[in-house]
Amino acid sequence: MTIVAIKILLVSISAGVLGSILGLGGGIVVTPALTLLFGVDIQHAIGASLISVIATSSGAAVAYIKDGITNIRVGMFLEIATTVGAITGALIAGLISPNLLYIIFGLLLLYSALAMLKKTKEELPEEVPLHNVAKTLKLQGEYYDKALKKNVSYNVDNVYSGFGVMYGAGIISGLLGIGSGSFKVMAMDVFMKLPLKVSSATSNFMMGVTGAASAGIYLYRGDISPIISAPVAIGVLIGATIGAKIMQRMKSKTIRKLFIPVLMYVAIQMMAQGLGVKL
Amino acid sequence: MNKDTQECSKEINEVEIFVSKSLRFGVLVSGAVILLGLVLFLSSGEGGYPGDSYPTRLRDIFAGAFDMKPFGIILAGLVLLICTPIMRVGISALVFLKEKDWLYVGISAVVFLILVSGFFFGK
Amino acid A186: pLDDT: 87
List the one residue out of A164, A159, A168 whose CA is nearest residue A104.
Answer: A168
Contact (CB<8Å) A237/B31: yes
Q: Are A242 and A16 in contact (CB under 8 A)?
A: yes
B42, A234 contact by CB (below 8 A):
no
DSSP-derived 3-state class of residue B100: coil
Surface of B (2-21) touching A: CB under 8 A: 8-9, 12-13, 15-17, 19-20
Q: Which residues of chain A have pLDDT under 50?
A: none
Question: Which residues, listed in sequence order, are joined to residue A141 by a DSSP beta bridge?
Answer: A154
* Nearest residue of B to residue A204, measured between CA atoms: B85
Beta strands A141-145; A150-154: pairing state: antiparallel
Most B CBs within 10 Å: which of A72, A84, A206, A207, as the mutation test of the B interface? Answer: A72
Give the distance from CA A93 to its chain's centroid.
21
Check residue B121 and give its pLDDT: 58
pLDDT in tens, A172-219: 877 776 667 888 998 999 899 999 999 999 999 998 888 887 787 788
pLDDT in the model for residue A94: 67
Q: What is the sign, positive or negative, of the torsion defined by CA atoms of B82, B84, B85, B89?
A: positive
Q: What is the mean pLDDT of chain B?
A: 85
Residue B45 touches partner A, C-beta closer than 8 Å: yes
Q: Residue A224: its chain B contacts at CB < 8 A? A: 75, 78
Chosen from A8, A207, A210, A227 to mutate, greatest number of chain B CBs within 10 A: A227
Amino acid at B44: S
Q: How far is B71 from chain A (nearest CA, A)?
A: 6
Give me the pLDDT at residue A173, please.
79
At residue B31, the pLDDT reads 96
| Residues in Cβ contact with B112 at an 8 Å cutoff, skipping those fewer than 6 apart | B86, B89, B90, B93
Beta carbon pairs, A and B, within 8 Å:
154
For the segment B8-52, what is each residue's pLDDT rounded down to a tens digit? 666 667 778 888 889 999 999 999 999 999 999 999 888 888 888
Cα separation, A74 vs A138, whole angstroms: 9
Q: What is the pLDDT of residues A219-252, one digit of tens each?
A: 888 889 999 999 999 999 999 999 999 999 999 9
Who among B42, B92, B119 is closest to A1 (CB)?
B42
Mind giving me the DSSP string for A156-194?
Answer: ---HHHHHHHHHHHHHHHHHH-S--HHHHHHIIIIIS--
**Tell me, what's the pLDDT at B45?**
84
CB contact at 8 A, A79 and B92: no
pLDDT at residue A279, as a whole number: 61
Which string of b and e fits B90-121 if b means at least 16 CB within 10 Å?
bbbbebbeebebeebbebbbbbbebbeebbee
Mark yes or no for CB contact A86/B118 under 8 Å. yes
Q: How confident is the model at residue B1 (pLDDT cuts 50, 70, 90)?
A: very low
- Return all residues near A53 (Cβ < 8 A) that are at least 6 apart: A19, A25, A26, A27, A178, A179, A181, A207, A208, A210, A211
Interface pTM, i.e. ipTM: 0.87
For A150, phi and psi rounded to 5 degrees?
-155, 160
pLDDT of A178 reads 65
Instruction: Provide, rounded to the nearest whole percent, the portion of chain B with pLDDT above 70.
Output: 85
Which residues on A lie below 8 Å from B87 (Cβ)? none
